Amino acid sequence: MEVFVRLLALLVVLLLGTGLRTLGVLDAGRTARLNAVAYYVALPALIFVSTYDRAIGELLSPALFGGLLLVLFATAGLAWMVHRRRASRARQSVAVVQSYHSNLGYLGLPLVAATFDATVTAIASVVLGVVTLIQLPLTVLVLSTLNGADAALGAELRSLARNPVLGALLAGLAIGSIGFSVPAPAVTGLDLVGSLALPLALLCVGASLQFDLPSVDVGATGSIIALKIVCMPLLAWLVFSTLDVDTATLTATVVMFGTPTAVSTFVFAAELGGDSEFASLNVFATTLVSMATLFLLITLVG
């Protein structure tokens, strides 16, 4: 019941963001500023606090790294098989990337931190870092190749070096690995800031969700929902159960891969020739349905 109430509260905050956008309270400028606070301040603080007292060897094992690669590329391969016959390249490219590109930062990690203990949260931070380094270039490559768009992949890779989320992860793991002691007041302050990551992120995601019912392609959107929030976490469960990892790793990976399609896929679709209206609809649909599937996943692995 506690998990259900928590996820219901998340859904309320998400829909609140959508409502505030509709009323004009969260316009594009205010949403961008709120997004900046979440992305550059709250989320990095959450990641740092989760990892600063743990050595990298405790969190990133060969089994975790290999399992993450296997789940991501296996889901991407399944997505290609399912969507390869779609008539529109613009829609096909979006369908493929939105079937595997997870909302790990704005929903996955904050949700794990609010639901599970520090060990699971620390592993989820590493999952965020590793998968982001792979899924972002992969998404740019798929969209630009299928749509014939001119994408500066090198620029996207260089932007990862300036990514505050990855920077916070590396800083936390480095400090944890050398055993440096962080002052308690600093940890308390960062922990307080990090606790704002989930509500801020949900408001931003809610303010970004848009859809047009007459344009709904039920078959395509249904396939994306099935692949992203049903098949991907089940595949993660199978892979990491087979690898015989500890409970914390299994929990973190299954929940993180059970998150909906990332809002950033809409931005990439708009920039690289994808069907942006279709992309927006799928972000909304996977996010809404994931509230139920995440409840089930958290109940099972928790």
**pLDDT by 10s per residue, the chain, length 302:** 566 777 777 778 888 888 888 888 888 888 888 888 888 888 889 889 888 888 888 888 999 999 999 999 999 999 999 998 887 888 999 999 999 999 998 889 998 998 899 999 999 999 999 999 899 889 988 988 888 766 555 666 666 677 788 888 888 888 988 888 888 888 899 889 888 887 887 888 788 776 655 566 788 899 999 999 999 999 999 999 999 889 999 999 999 999 999 888 888 888 888 888 888 888 888 988 998 899 899 988 87
DSSP 40: I
Q: Which residues contact 253 (CB under 8 A, 6 or more apart)?
A: 64, 67, 68, 71, 123, 127, 236, 240
For residue 55, what is the enclosing H or E element? none
Span between the terminal Cα atoms of the chain, in Å: 13
124 token code pair = 């989820």
The domain ranges of the chain are 2-301
Alpha helices in the chain (DSSP H): 2-22, 28-37, 43-51, 56-59, 62-83, 89-98, 109-115, 118-147, 153-161, 164-178, 184-194, 197-208, 218-226, 232-242, 247-257, 264-271, 276-301
| Predicted pLDDT of residue 21 | 86
* DSSP-based three-state secondary structure for 151: coil
| Predicted pLDDT of residue 157 | 61
| Predicted pLDDT of residue 152 | 58
Rounded distance, CA 148 to CA 150, Å?
7
| Predicted pLDDT of residue 189 | 92
Rounded distance, CA 159 to CA 163, Å?
6
Determine how many CB atoms are found less than 10 A away from the CB of residue 164.
Answer: 15
Domain 2-301 has CATH 1.20.1530.20: yes
Amino acid at 127: V
Q: Which residues contact 34 (CB under 8 A, 6 or more apart)?
A: 26, 200, 203, 204, 207
| Predicted pLDDT of residue 210 | 66
